[in-house]
Structure 1
Amino acid sequence: MTYTVYGAAGSGSVPVEAALTLIGAPFEVIEAVTWEGEAERDKVAPVNPMRQVPVLVTPDGEVITESAAILIWLAERHPEAALGPEPCDPRRAQFLRWMTFIPASIYSMYWVRDDPGRLGGDDPAAQATIKARTAERIAACWEQMEAQMEPDRFLLGPELTVLDLYVAVASRWTPHRSRFHQVAPRMGQVARRVDALPELLDLWTRRFPFEGAWGG
């Protein structure tokens, strides 16, 4: 009963891999570095016509795309891991709110950043402006999220949820953790706590270490 994850180191598949690690469910990763060209994107095409990662294929053969949907589904499918508030939990509304906010307001910016020519054409100046403005937009969204949360040990209280995993990974992307800690210092403390979870240290080292272009 093994899950299959289509993903890549440093990508949106990493919080999914982290959730599966904490759940204790066996999984295999099909590496598809989709930002490196058509051949890599073609690896994902059989399970996702958008040719994007992450994709989760369940042990029953069901295909789930979109990182937030995968994380919410895993939390619900494996309640024994306690990685998400149940419908009757008073934290549920804010859990769904922020699990939706991240892909809608932050994650979506990377479709533009990965290839600014999609909107800026061949004009280098336009592309540079797009990259600068999307970085500022991402930072502003983290700042807005910070202003509307009261983190405890984790973002929604004393217990870890998949929202913490999502933020811990997405906050490593441009404009990187240094800016994230400036605009969202309380959320930054939570992210550092997730970074240090003993159960995930090996995963972080293999799949998203603080080095090179990923910064820290």
Structure 2
Amino acid sequence: MQKLYGAPGWGSAITEIMFSLAGEAYQLIDVEGFDRPGPARDKLLALNPLCQVPTLVREDGTVLTESAAIALVLLDENPQLAPAAGTPQRAQFYRLLVWMVANVYATLTYGDYPERWVSQAPQELQASTDRHRENLYLWLEAQAGDGPYWFGEQVSLLDAWFPVLVSWKPRHAWFEQHAPKIASIAHNISQRPELERVLRANQLLP
């Protein structure tokens, strides 16, 4: 069985949601605390020099990292979890999948641990990345439709991001006020019964 290295509430939760939407089996290897020195970090570093979650070890032993890459591999095996190939919606799926990890994740990489990157006034880096992330979400909100999911009635792997994103800064209350469409998609996907276990395990349910 493929092994997913992750920690509750981190980006690995997105991959867990994707696997659950696809009905794919996996074994979760909990490496909570990987962001500081210790056995969990050592275990993850042996597979991923960047020491990031998710890190996936496939059944054939292949190590796969990066949420977007995992999504695309999963899509190869579950084509129903994205709009049809060759459609404008499929192009948007690709765009937003890469947009999430290229833009939003960068603000978290630098803003959540500013002291790693600057020696003076790390709080200024944190504040500026927080503001930039909010602006990114406002742009994303402007792209959203009327739901219930990102692509209307069709559930896609892109929807797996929203329950997790709204739990990260700037948190649920901000999304409810400033990005209600994103908040609604997060709520709707979270109501799917096949996701209850994984959402609860990642502390993403009330």
Q: How far apart, CA to CA, are the structure 1 residues paired with 2:161 and 2:78?
A: 17
Q: Equivalent pairs: percent with the same residue?
A: 31
- In structure 1, give the amino acid aligned to 2:3: T
Inter-CA distance 114–41: structure 2 relative to 1 (3 Å threshold): farther
Question: How does 1:171-210 map onto structure 2 within 5 Å?
Answer: 171-210=166-205
TM-score, scaled relative to structure 1: 0.87
The number of aligned residues is 205
Aligned match of 1:94: 92
Deviations 1:84-143 (A, max 9, x none): 23422331110011111111111111111332112221x4xx122222221111111010
Does residue 41 of structure 2 align to residue 41 of structure 1?
yes
Q: How far apart, CA to CA, are the structure 2 residues paired with 1:204 and 1:143?
A: 25
Deviations 1:186-216 (A, max 9, x none): 12111111121111112111123357xxxxx
- In structure 2, give the amino acid aligned to 1:55: T
Report if aligned partners of 1:139, 1:183 keep a CA contact under 8 Å in 2. no
Report if aligned partners of 2:134, 2:170 keep a CA contact under 8 Å in 1. yes
Inter-CA distance 23–210: structure 2 relative to 1 (3 Å threshold): closer
Aligned match of 2:11: 12
Q: Aligned to 1:5, what secondary structure does the other structure show?
A: strand
Aligned match of 2:106: 108
How far does residue 38 in structure 1 lie from its aligned partner after superposition? 4.7
How far does residue 164 in structure 1 lie from its aligned partner after superposition? 0.8
Aligned match of 1:32: 31
- My pick for the range that moved more, 5-14 or 89-98, is 89-98
Match of 1:164 among 148, 159, 165: 159
Structure 2 unaligned spans of 5+ = none
Q: Aligned to 1:29, what secondary structure does the other structure show?
A: strand
Aligned match of 1:75: 75
Q: Aligned to 1:6, what secondary structure does the other structure show?
A: strand
How far does residue 26 in structure 1 lie from its aligned partner after superposition? 1.6
Aligned match of 1:117: 115
Report if aligned partners of 2:162, 2:185 keep a CA contact under 8 Å in 1. no
Q: How far apart, CA to CA, are the structure 2 residues paired with 1:42 and 1:114?
A: 21
TM-score, scaled relative to structure 2: 0.91
Q: How far apart, CA to CA, are the structure 2 residues paired with 1:172 and 1:139?
A: 13
Q: How far apart, CA to CA, are the structure 1 residues paired with 2:203 and 2:83?
A: 26
Report if aligned partners of 1:6, 1:30 keep a CA contact under 8 Å in 2. yes
Q: Aligned to 2:174, what secondary structure does the other structure show?
A: helix
- In structure 1, give the amino acid aligned to 2:48: N
Q: Aligned to 1:209, what secondary structure does the other structure show?
A: coil
Report if aligned partners of 1:41, 1:52 keep a CA contact under 8 Å in 2. no
- In structure 1, give the amino acid aligned to 2:198: L
Report if aligned partners of 1:68, 1:103 keep a CA contact under 8 Å in 2. yes
- In structure 1, give the amino acid aligned to 2:151: L
